[in-house]
Amino acid sequence: MHKITPCLWFDDRIEEAVNFYVSVFRDGRIHDVSRYGEGAPRPAGTVLTMRFELAGQPFQALNGGPQFPFTEAVSFSIDCEDQAEVDHYWEHLTSGGGEESMCGWLKDRYGLSWQVVPRALPLLLNGSDKAGAARAMQAMLQMRKLVVAELEAAYAG
């Protein structure tokens, strides 16, 4: 059992969002769903919470209302083995109204921020060739979706 579980606050689109996330992550799964009962602030039977898992990380989703939307102050970073994995997450998470940002950041259609990061990036930015690392950093700063081949080419000079 994990000691810390992120809780994502949604406004009515909780089932749609959780089903989307579970479909994007190949090993995603829903553990349980609780619903509002009679006399609750939402109609009886409406989803209250969902517990789910993405890439081994547990999450809880709460159908709490419009008071607290997502901001870029919190994001989830996806460690991607290679470019194919970067492409997979980037394409799926930006689909249906998601927004690309800079340096591998994006917002999905629900407003949640993600960082889609190839495993090669920290190796290049912390490489022994400091000038190469600086070139890789400059290349990254110009990208939206991170492209491993272009980062490696910048590092190599």
Q: How far apart are CA 18 and CA 21, in angstroms?
A: 5
Is the model's pLDDT at 1 over the cut of 80?
no
Tell me the residue ranges of DSSP E strands in 89-145. 99-100, 105-107, 113-118
Q: What is the pTM of this model?
A: 0.94
Average pLDDT over residues 88-111: 98
Q: Give the closest residue to 122 by CA, choosing from 148, 92, 100.
A: 148
Q: How far apart are CA 100 and CA 144, in angstroms?
A: 6
Predicted pLDDT at 148: 98
Convert 40-52 to b/e letters by CB count within 10 Å (16 or more is b). Answer: eeeeeeebbbbbb
Mean pLDDT of the chain: 97
pLDDT 10s digits, 4-40:
999 999 999 999 999 999 999 999 999 999 999 999 9
Predicted pLDDT at 2: 85
